[in-house]
Amino acid sequence: MSDTTTITNVITVILLLVGAFFMLAGTIGFVRFPDFYSRMHATGKCDTLGEGLMLVALIVYGGATFVSVKILFLIMFILLANPTSTHAIAKAAYDVGLEPWRKLDDRVEWMNTGDTGNTSNTGNSGEGRAGEDGEDRGEGR
Amino acid sequence: MNIKHFIATSIIVFAFWILLSAHFDAFHVGAGVICSLIVAYASHDLLFTGTGNHTLTKTVRFIAYLPWLIYQIVLANIDVAKRALSPRMPIDPQVVTFKTMLKSDVARTALANSITLTPGTVTIDIVDDVFYVHAIAKEPADDLLEGAMERRIAHIFMED
């Protein structure tokens, strides 16, 4: 009896630690990535698996109870809601006209063509600001 | 009002009530029955739209799709964690577009959410049948354009 308890506890701890690792990696990615869209990658993905693993750990720890069923439903809702909200936020940013950050050489090219083409001014200035931010980070590493 | 859909919805809603309440005395079960009937009356045409066919096959195929999706989610997380923690931070974000062959809203939603959950790609927008996808680097974008996931979704919803 105590053997099974030990095994359950070990599995729970491992799942919790792996989940916490992914949450940590997602948060570090959120801080380090250069622009809005790439930060969406970090938060939208790592949260899903991190939270999922932690909730599975709770199910393993709690055993087959009604609470476990509720946690199972929570996991399903997170699986549905997380990508949907990520998509909604990304779409809002895209509709406002936020340009995705590119690597340095690509961005210079894009800005030159943008100047000659003389298209939307707001888009260019937005790109410039996002770009400088990214450039600082890039050189710092 | 379709009486079969109404009864099926009531039963499903009531089963959900039992799962969440976990009380079996007369008061809770009776309240559950009444609430289930009211909710089922209000929303019986939402769960079973009556327009689709082969619902059972689609459900079974979707459940069979889930393990692969979870495997992809794990890969996605390892991928993002690697990129976030690597000192050189190997990212090269880009927006790619592709035309989808999927017709129904459910299938497109499933594809959009699957893209967001899998390695290095986030769906930004769907305009008519064109997907706008933000990719964190070149390899995930190429993998996506290769189209394996779209074929799986098309298989589930019988649009291939």
For the record, the structure tokens of A38 come out as 């790439």
Cβ of B117 and A28 within 8 Å? no
Residues of A in contact with B87 (CB under 8 A): 141
Measure CB to CB from residue A91 to each of B113, B125, B136 and give the nearest one.
Answer: B125
Distance from CA of B5 to the nearest CA of A (A): 23
Q: From the DSSP assignment, how many helices (H) and strands (E) are in chain A?
A: 5, 0
Work out the minimum CA distance from A54 to partner chain B, whole angstroms: 14
Residue B87 touches chain A, beta carbons under 8 Å: yes
Nearest residue to B95 via CA among B59, B63, B123: B123
ipTM: 0.71
pLDDT in tens, B8-59: 888 888 988 888 887 888 898 899 999 999 988 888 777 776 556 677 788 8
What residues form DSSP beta bridges with B96? B133
Residue ranges of domains in chain B: 3-47, 55-156
Where in chain B does DSSP place strands (E)? 94-99, 121-127, 130-135
A19-68, pLDDT tens digit by residue?
A: 999 899 888 888 888 888 888 888 877 888 888 899 999 999 888 888 88
